[in-house]
Amino acid sequence: MLHERTITELRLGLENGEFSAEELTRHYLSRLEGPSQDINAFITVTGNIALERAKKSDIDRSKGHAGPLSGIPIAHKDVFCTRGVRTSAGSLILDKFIAPYSATVVEKLEQAGAVMLGKTNQDEFAMGSSNENSHYGPVLNPWDRTRVPGGSSGGSAAAVAAGLCAASTGTDTGGSIRQPSSFCGVTGIKPTYGRISRWGIIAYASSLDQAGPITQTAEDAALMLEVMAGHDPKDSTSIAAGVPRYTDSLANPIKGLRIGLCQEYFDEGLDATTGKLIMEAVAVLESQGAVISEVSLSTTRYAVPAYYVIAPAECSANLSRYDGVRFGHRCENPKDLDDLYKRTRSEAFGNEVKQRILVGAFALSTGYYDAYYRKAQQVRRLIRNDFQEAFKTVDLLLSPTAPTPAFRIGEKSDDQVAMYLQDIYTISSNLAGLPAISIPAGIHGHLPTGLQLIGNYLDEARLLNVAHQYQLQTNWHKLSPPAGGTA
């Protein structure tokens, strides 16, 4: 089936003339109208735009101008601005917002020939770990429709897992690419902070946000990242370093590679079966010549608390722009300016977003700034130092991506701390700005489990290399959810 093929395989088929980009796009669009879309992975399907782009890609190819992703059907998380297309960030406040320009990432992928099928569902403003916070309703996990796909890039991960697009984009502020990738059995990489331009991506917490691809394989992730990464003068935090050809180093042997297991990531909070599956994956890497040792990241337990001060603080500033004046929703008949602000924001932000704005505004307020925000920033520095210490003795770190497999819809809705702890293994790398990848590493009952690798700054090539080598030895990434997947 076409939708089971990887980008690498699709590229071959397109090159050999086995099918055209238009045929491929029509195939995906028909799936988007079919039963698999019951998982609610898309907010907007852009069928006409996709067909136009696909036809153009076929013409370009016939003239010998095919780009690296020419004709490959992809989807963007709805947090990426896409010119002329609704960009909602999963929020009612932007439900009618048509972006006047495209994010740099969207443009780069378009220039590379990729065909956008539509925009994927997500937690409102990327706040969440389960995709239950979307104005457009929850996304269902294609492996089991009673369970969450993870969040906040749940639509993007579920769409790749369900064969609704060949690859997708996501953003990761505290785990939002990796945790849903783990829950949906796909590959997702969060690059080094600044590796991919944030220009045109609706901001959640600017010092943590980073975009990345979600794909079936590490090889596909390398292809996507080669296009997505790079310096952008429009984003002052983007890194001015050249982009390596990640695909060139995939085949490197990993013999002698030093992998550290962070003790604190295998604590009592980790589900036992998940832990066992991860240790089986470790054994695979060891059999390929990796040298395993234990390391300690003693600041781990402070990561979630520090994050839940810093991220809300930044979100309270970033979301102040949604005031009913310039963007999106505006309340009816405001009495005065205060009323306009209050009612617009009360009506159109969801509860999780409101709560975080309140927490953030509190943490930044006079008298509390030193006690909370400054303290959290200091903890952030310690976390970063901890990692740098670890990277003196190992090349990369390995851990589970999330403490459990996908949980049931509604299961953690009343327990915010349990929900926040979903990100316990992913958040530290955002606080430190480090790159990290999640790859499928086993099946827990009937649900996928993800393995996380964390690298040093700009070490994406090595993460992709190790992930690819692992995928050459295992089949977890090749498993697809059963049709209509339920428990």
- Which residues are tagged catalytic? 77, 152, 176
Separation of alpha carbons 297 and 389, rounded Å = 9
Residue with CB nearest ligand GLN?
176
Which range in 172-180, 364-372, 388-396, 431-439 contacts ligand GLN by CB under 6 A?
A: 172-180
Per-residue CA distances from 429 to 92, 153, 178, 183 (Å): 31, 17, 11, 19
Residues sharing a CB contact under 8 Å with residue 282, sequence separation 6 or more, in sequence order: 259, 261, 292, 398
How many residues interact with ligand GLN (rule CB under 6 A)? 14
Separation of alpha carbons 482 and 487, rounded Å = 10
Q: Provide, rounded to whole angstroms, the least separation between the CB of residue 472 and ligand GLN.
A: 29
Q: Provide, rounded to whole angstroms, the least separation between the CB of residue 119 and ligand GLN.
A: 16
Which range in 22-30, 173-181, 222-230, 333-341 contacts ligand GLN by CB under 6 A?
A: 173-181
Is residue 130 within 8 A of residue 90, CB to CB? The reply is no
The yes or no reply on residue 155 touching ligand GLN (CB under 6 A) is: no
Which range in 58-66, 101-109, 165-173, 236-244 contacts ligand GLN by CB under 6 A?
A: 165-173
Q: Output 254 or 436, the one with its CB closest to ligand GLN.
A: 436
Residue 475 tokens, joined: 């089949």
Strands (E), 304-403: 396-400
Which range in 174-182, 217-225, 244-252, 284-292 contacts ligand GLN by CB under 6 A?
A: 174-182
Q: Provide, rounded to whole angstroms, the least separation between the CB of residue 311 and ligand GLN.
A: 5
| DSSP 3-state of 321 | helix
Q: Provide, rounded to whole angstroms, the least separation between the CB of residue 129 and ligand GLN.
A: 4
One-letter amino acid at 417 equals V
- Contact letters for ligand GLN, residues 101-130 (x by CB under 6 A): -------------------------xxxx-
- The torsion defined by the Cα of 73, 77, 79 and 85, in degrees rounded to 10, comes to 40
Q: Provide, rounded to whole angstroms, the least separation between the CB of residue 186 and ligand GLN.
A: 16
Nearest to 180, CA basis, from 206, 211, 141 = 141
Which range in 136-144, 171-179, 361-369, 435-443 contacts ligand GLN by CB under 6 A?
A: 171-179
From 423, 448, 450, 466, residue interacting with ligand GLN (rule: CB under 6 A): 423
Which residues pair with residue 348 across a beta bridge?
A: none
Q: Provide, rounded to whole angstroms, the least separation between the CB of residue 427 and ligand GLN.
A: 7
The yes or no reply on residue 172 touching ligand GLN (CB under 6 A) is: yes
Footprint on residues 290-329 left by ligand GLN (CB under 6 A): 311
Separation of alpha carbons 32 and 36, rounded Å = 7
The yes or no reply on residue 285 touching ligand GLN (CB under 6 A) is: no
Buried b vs exposed e over 462-480: b needs ≥16 C-beta within 10 Å? Answer: bbbbbbbbbbeebebbeeb
Neighbours of 385 (CB within 10 A): 12
The order of strands in the sheet holding 447-455 is: 42-45, 115-120, 73-77, 167-172, 210-215, 187-190, 436-444, 447-455, 396-400, 258-262, 291-295
From 113, 163, 175, 185, residue interacting with ligand GLN (rule: CB under 6 A): 175
The yes or no reply on residue 176 touching ligand GLN (CB under 6 A) is: yes
The yes or no reply on residue 238 touching ligand GLN (CB under 6 A) is: no
The DSSP symbol for 405 reads: S
Q: How do strand 436-444 and strand 210-215 relate by DSSP bridges?
A: unpaired
The yes or no reply on residue 243 touching ligand GLN (CB under 6 A) is: no
Q: Output 163 or 433, the one with its CB closest to ligand GLN.
A: 433
Q: Output 430 or 456, the one with its CB closest to ligand GLN.
A: 430
The yes or no reply on residue 448 touching ligand GLN (CB under 6 A) is: no
The yes or no reply on residue 173 touching ligand GLN (CB under 6 A) is: yes
Which residues make up the interface to ligand GLN (CB under 6 A)? 126-129, 152, 171-176, 204, 311, 423
